[in-house]
């Protein structure tokens, strides 16, 4: 993928001119002095063509075609990092800025689904009214073209849905650009998305096989960019009530402590699944329990098998399951124990503070751990992921893996 930069004097260093008693002697007006070259290494190679172009533009000169050509061959970036912002005050979702066509949109990055869909100017006016026009994707942009005969219809576990047309457009995340990404353009959507104005659509990072475009399903943005990345990975460091990051193409060693605990991903149903084999509450002993877990940034809570969820809240005096909330409630001042799950024989520890999801009334809080009743698997949402450094790896050939480590800083 890396193209040669032919014919240009690309310099990987620069030279300092220093007087010295050795080296080339020059004689000027009877005095002798010496030029001595010292190479100073640069952190990154300096790309001359860009500044040559800038100089031409500054003096309003036509940029030589060979400079334009050289620029078009500039080595494309193979990694980037973007902010993961809580989309609401209670960390209900984590959003990223994404350039879709010429527009800057705020998308809910969701590892539990595989569609990139956006609110659009094609929605009925009643559904458009909650956002300014600048936040509605306009498919008449210069870089957009219709994917004829294709449509999408996606429905989520909470009965919400979106449906509409499909376009190909330029989609950039930080420095990484997919020129022809399938962008699913909503022409109708559930009321939930009309009122949930913290984001302008979903950005799916589960397997492309789960993509809901028909007749031909489309690749996710990650699958499109993956062959160009330095490493076929993306990582997340989600933070409680604070800005974290999503990194693409590399594993930032400064963002975690200790070793990464890896688990193979079966990709069952297209999800980031893994199989914990046990759990421990606070300093308690490890209990055996094997169940299917799915890591999902697009879910707020941490759903666990009922016996495990109940065992956790039994350690919190005054807590109870509230059918009204559909969740556990507890006195807000309670000290919440850490929860540990065993993955690949290793402990993955989740700080107790994560289990305080939100205040529901004076002195009463709602728990981050919930029962996974009615689900064919246990969804490990943000209440689990916050505080962890999570690596999602899809090699070009071979086994996908998910990895967990403690974040370097707990903030």
Site for ligand NAG in 58-77 (CB under 6 A): 75
Q: Which is nearer to ligand NAG, 37 or 104 (CB)?
A: 104
Choose between 100 and 122: whose C-beta lies nearer to ligand NAG: 100
Q: In the complex, what is the shortest distance from the CB of residue 60 to ligand NAG, in angstroms, rounded to a whole number?
A: 27
Q: Which is nearer to ligand NAG, 57 or 75 (CB)?
A: 75
Query: CB of residue 79 vs ligand NAG: minimum separation in angstroms?
Result: 7
78 binds ligand NAG (CB under 6 A): yes
DSSP structure class, residue 139: T
E strand spans, 265-367: 272-274, 278-281, 287-288, 293-295, 302-304, 320-322, 327-331, 339-343, 346-350, 356-361, 364-367
In the bound complex, what is the minimum distance in angstroms from residue 303's beta carbon to ligand NAG? 31
Is there a catalytic annotation at residue 296? yes
Residue 143: closest CA among 171, 166, 124, 122 = 171
Quote the radius of gyration of the chain (alpha carbons, Å): 26
Strand partners, 158: none
Q: Name the minimum Å distance from CB 99 to ligand NAG.
A: 6
Residue of 20, 38, 104, 399 interacting with ligand NAG (CB under 6 A):
104
Give the span between the Cα atoms of 40 and 161, in whole angstroms. Answer: 57
Q: For the CB of residue 90, give the shortest distance to ligand NAG in the complex, in Å.
A: 20
- Based on the shown chain and the rule CB under 6 A, indicate whether residue 97 belongs to the binding site for ligand NAG: yes
Do residues 40 and 13 touch, judged by C-beta distance below 8 A?
A: yes
- The single residue of 91, 108, 110, 200 carrying the catalytic annotation is 110
Query: CB-wise, 230 or 375, nearer to ligand NAG?
Result: 230
Q: Which residues pair with 302 in a beta bridge?
A: 369, 380
Dmax over CA atoms of the chain, in Å, equals 97
Which one, 44 or 142, has the nearer CB to ligand NAG?
Answer: 44
Total of residues contacting ligand NAG (CB under 6 A): 6
Answer yes or no: are the C-beta atoms of 154 and 162 closer than 8 Å. Answer: yes
- The Cα–Cα gap between 205 and 385 comes to 15
Nearer to ligand NAG by Cβ, of 163 and 226: the residue is 226
Considering the complex, state which of residue 75 and residue 375 has its C-beta at the smaller distance from ligand NAG: 75
With binding defined as CB under 6 A, does residue 88 bind ligand NAG? no
> 34 or 104: whose CB is closer to ligand NAG?
104
Closest contact distance (angstroms) between CB of 49 and ligand NAG is 15
Binding map of ligand NAG across residues 230-259, x = CB under 6 A, - = no contact: x-----------------------------
Q: Which of 108, 169, 247, 296 is catalytic?
A: 296
β-sheet bridge partners, residue 32: 27
Length of the chain: 411
DSSP secondary structure code for residue 329 in this structure: E
SS3 308: helix
Q: Does residue number 375 form part of the binding site for ligand NAG (CB under 6 A)?
A: no
Cα–Cα dist 305/296, whole Å: 16
Residue given tokens 């989600």 in the structure block: 238
Q: Which of 103, 106, 358, 400 binds ligand NAG (CB under 6 A)?
A: 106
Which is nearest to 370 in space by CA: 317, 298, 319, 318? 319
Residue 31 phi, psi (nearest 5): -100, 145
Q: Is 356 in the site for ligand NAG (CB under 6 A)?
A: no
Least distance between ligand NAG and beta carbon 97 (Å) = 4
Alpha carbon 203 to chain centroid, angstroms = 9
Q: Is 200 an annotated catalytic residue?
A: no
Distance CA 164, CA 342 (A): 42
CB of 77 to ligand NAG, least distance (A): 7
Which residues of this protein are in contact with ligand NAG, per CB under 6 A?
A: 75, 78, 97, 104, 106, 230
> What positions carry a catalytic annotation?
110, 296
């Amino acid at each position: 993928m890396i193209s040669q930069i032919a014919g240009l004097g690309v310099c990987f260093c620069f030279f300092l001119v220093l007087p010295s008693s050795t080296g080339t002697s020059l004689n000027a007006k009877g005095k002798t002095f010496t030029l001595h070259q010292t190479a100073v290494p640069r952190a990154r190679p300096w790309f001359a063509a860009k500044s040559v172009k800038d100089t031409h533009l500054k003096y309003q000169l036509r940029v030589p075609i060979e400079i334009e050509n050289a620029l078009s061959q500039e080595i494309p970036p193979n990694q980037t990092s973007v902010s993961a912002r809580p989309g609401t005050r209670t960390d209900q979702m984590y959003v990223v800025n994404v350039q879709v066509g010429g527009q800057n949109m705020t998308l809910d990055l969701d590892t539990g689904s595989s569609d990139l869909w956006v609110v659009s100017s094609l929605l009925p006016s009643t559904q458009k009214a909650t956002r300014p026009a600048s936040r509605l994707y306009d498919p008449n942009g210069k870089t957009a073209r219709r994917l004829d005969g294709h449509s999408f219809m996606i429905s989520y576990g909470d009965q919400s849905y979106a449906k509409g047309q499909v376009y190909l457009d330029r989609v950039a995340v930080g420095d990484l650009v997919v020129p022809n990404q399938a962008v699913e353009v909503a022409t109708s959507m559930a009321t939930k998305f009309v009122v949930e104005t913290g984001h302008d659509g979903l950005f799916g990072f589960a397997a492309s096989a789960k993509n809901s475009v028909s007749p031909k399903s489309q690749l996710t943005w990650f699958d499109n960019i993956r062959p160009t990345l330095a490493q076929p990975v993306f990582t997340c460091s989600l933070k409680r009530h604070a800005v974290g990051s999503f990194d693409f193409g590399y594993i930032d060693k400064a963002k975690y402590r200790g070793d990464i605990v890896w688990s193979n991903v079966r990709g069952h149903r297209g999800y980031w699944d893994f199989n914990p084999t046990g759990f421990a509450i606070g300093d308690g002993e490890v209990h055996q329990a094997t169940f299917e877990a799915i890591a999902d940034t697009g879910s707020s809570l941490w759903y666990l098998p009922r016996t495990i969820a109940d065992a956790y809240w039994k350690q919190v005096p005054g807590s109870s399951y509230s059918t009204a909330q559909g969740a556990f409630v507890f006195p807000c001042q309670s000290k919440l124990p850490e929860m540990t799950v065993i993955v690949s024989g290793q402990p993955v520890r989740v700080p107790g503070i994560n289990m305080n999801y939100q205040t529901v009334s004076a002195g009463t809080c709602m728990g981050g751990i919930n029962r996974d009743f009615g689900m064919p698997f246990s969804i490990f949402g943000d209440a689990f992921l916050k505080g962890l450094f999570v690596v999602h790896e899809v090699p070009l050939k071979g086994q996908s893996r998910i990895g967990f480590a403690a974040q370097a800083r707990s903030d």
